[in-house]
Structure 1
Amino acid sequence: MFALRQLHSQFVVKVPEPITSFEGKTIIITGGNTGLGFEAAKYYLKLKASRVILACRSLEKADKAKLELEQSFPISGHIVETWQVDLSSYASVIQFYEKARSLPRLDVLLLNAGIMTKEYRVAEDNESTITVNVISTFLMAFLLMSKLKETASFFGTTPHLTVVSSDLHFLSDFSEWKTDDIFASLNDKKSARMNDRYNVSKLIEILLVRHFVSVHGTNYPVVFNTVQPGWCQSNLSTEIATPFQKKVGGLHGKNN
């Protein structure tokens, strides 16, 4: 059933090309230097966004992406900005928030950055996939929610906060939910199943957003949602994909 749904959404469903103007609006994209984040930045510029901030771990890579965007679109040098943030560090996320809170407005926060790894690593006393994909992602979301709400109130708009998730959540086993302390179980190196960890992280993302929406209701001033981009060409699975998977992804993965 999952495979059929994936094939249908990948090769049959046609997503309408966005046409809404983003003129005057400010966008933040985590992981905006590559893959889905970079393609999203292209669309926002195409739709006349006034300020696009690429929030990336490597400023060197972000600056290269900025240059490519400026060479591809007839924009002035101040529209695309590069800000540093490392989601494996809570201090870095908080520092980013302190800078972003001074923005005159924030219309879109696209939380796209994430990792997929087969190696158990620790970041901020948790397994790194959980730290980056879940804890830091939602730390940034909840810290900047106030700026999004402020924008909604002052400008009379409806800002969006979107977490890039994945249909791979459907395949997660997530047996850790049965334990008394889910995060402690996920942090146990001996029992960690890293081949399922990315899927679990995406399921937790969806559950968190659904819970937030169920608590705050549909009249909340900010649209808070998740998106499933489908099978795409990106660098996300470089570490974990087999040579065959990489070849198939190159042939059939979406690239825009």
Structure 2
Amino acid sequence: MAFALRLLYSQFIVKVPPPTTSFESKTIIITGGNTGLGFEAAKYYLKLKASRVILACRSLEKADKAKLELEQTFAISGDIVETWQFYEKARTLPRLDAVLLNAGIMTKEYRVAEDNESTITVNVISTFLIAFLLISKLKETAKIFGTTPHTTIVSSDLHFLSDFSEWKSDDIFAPLNDKKPARMNDRYNVSKLMEILVVRHFASLYGPNYPVVFNTVHPGWCQSNLSNEIATNFLKKLENFMRRKTEEGARSLVLATTFGR
């Protein structure tokens, strides 16, 4: 009941204002930026004068299609919008001001991706691998330009519903990777809780004076393709009634990359 009331309040009472902070001269990396919330966030960064917006996607074909649409929408060309598949290129950037880790999946099927269950691979392992690989460039930017760069991870209030009994194991990933007892209806929720726990642990290790803001953001229940695989007819009808517009959800993502400590 408490979660339901929180959800109703969040969806119908809370209004997120459009971001207004300038991103002039700044460089942004967005994972999962070719569609949904990530794509709408990219639009906001361009509206707010970002000098460089990098769409980091698993599929360069999809990323290039999104890049073309952004360039046509904002009548821009050249190197303002780029598409990347390999994060090693980030080391060559003159600066990096915000990393928006938006890529994620929600699935009801047990699948293996790079030796782990796919939800954990994409939502947790890959997300934090990218985050920690890019921290040195963010710290360098903070030192050179006197700014406060951000690493923002898109999480979800669904973490409140997770059971996460796997935490009792000495090796958390072992039960999560065991197909037989896998509870895939809870897996997305678990992945979002793991994200929040890792960020909290990171914050406790390095304290409030760390040069990079490391945070999570919950955009609310938004229009996207995320739940297509698990959606029942009832859920689709409920989503149509309750979901925020994708653009409204993207506001939260962009705002989270502007907040101070």
- Mapping for residues 46-195 of structure 1, pairs under 5 Å: 46-84=47-85, 96-195=86-185
Following superposition, the deviation at residue 227 of structure 1 comes to: 0.1
Q: Does structure 2 retain, via aligned residues, the 8 Å contact 1:121–1:127?
A: yes
**Overall identity of the aligned pairs, in %:** 83
Following superposition, the deviation at residue 244 of structure 1 comes to: 2.4
For structure 1, the residue ranges without an aligned partner over 5 or more in a row are 85-95
Following superposition, the deviation at residue 239 of structure 1 comes to: 0.7
1:10 and 2:11 are equivalent in the alignment: yes
Following superposition, the deviation at residue 248 of structure 1 comes to: 2.8
Q: Does structure 2 retain, via aligned residues, the 8 Å contact 1:70–1:77?
A: no
1:209 and 2:199 are equivalent in the alignment: yes
- Mapping for residues 18-57 of structure 1, pairs under 5 Å: 18-57=19-58
TM-score by length of structure 1 reads: 0.93
* Secondary structure in 2 matching 1:101: helix
Question: How many residues are paired up?
Answer: 245
User: CA RMSD, aligned part only?
Assistant: 1.0
Provide the C-alpha distance between the structure 1 equivalents of 2:18 and 2:92, rounded to a whole number of angstroms. Answer: 32
Provide the C-alpha distance between the structure 2 equivalents of 1:51 and 1:252, rounded to a whole number of angstroms. Answer: 34
Could you tell me which amino acid in structure 1 is paired with residue 210 of structure 2?
Y
Name the structure 2 match of 1:88: none
Name the structure 1 match of 2:254: none
Following superposition, the deviation at residue 251 of structure 1 comes to: 3.8
Q: Does structure 2 retain, via aligned residues, the 8 Å contact 1:151–1:157?
A: yes
Provide the C-alpha distance between the structure 1 equivalents of 2:25 and 2:194, rounded to a whole number of angstroms. Answer: 34
Q: Does structure 2 retain, via aligned residues, the 8 Å contact 1:110–1:161?
A: yes
Following superposition, the deviation at residue 246 of structure 1 comes to: 2.1
Could you tell me which amino acid in structure 2 is paired with residue 10 of structure 1?
Q
* Secondary structure in 1 matching 2:92: coil
Q: Does structure 2 retain, via aligned residues, the 8 Å contact 1:106–1:151?
A: yes
Provide the C-alpha distance between the structure 2 equivalents of 1:250 and 1:36, rounded to a whole number of angstroms. Answer: 17
Provide the C-alpha distance between the structure 2 equivalents of 1:229 and 1:170, rounded to a whole number of angstroms. Answer: 15
Provide the C-alpha distance between the structure 1 equivalents of 2:151 and 2:25, rounded to a whole number of angstroms. Answer: 17
* Secondary structure in 2 matching 1:150: helix
* Secondary structure in 1 matching 2:219: coil
Following superposition, the deviation at residue 77 of structure 1 comes to: 3.3
For structure 2, the residue ranges without an aligned partner over 5 or more in a row are 248-261
Residues 157 and 71 from structure 1, CA distance in 2 versus in 1: closer, same or farther, beyond 3 angstroms?
same
TM-score by length of structure 2 reads: 0.91
For CA contacts below 8 A with separation 6 or more, give which structure has more relative contact order.
Answer: 2
* Secondary structure in 2 matching 1:219: coil
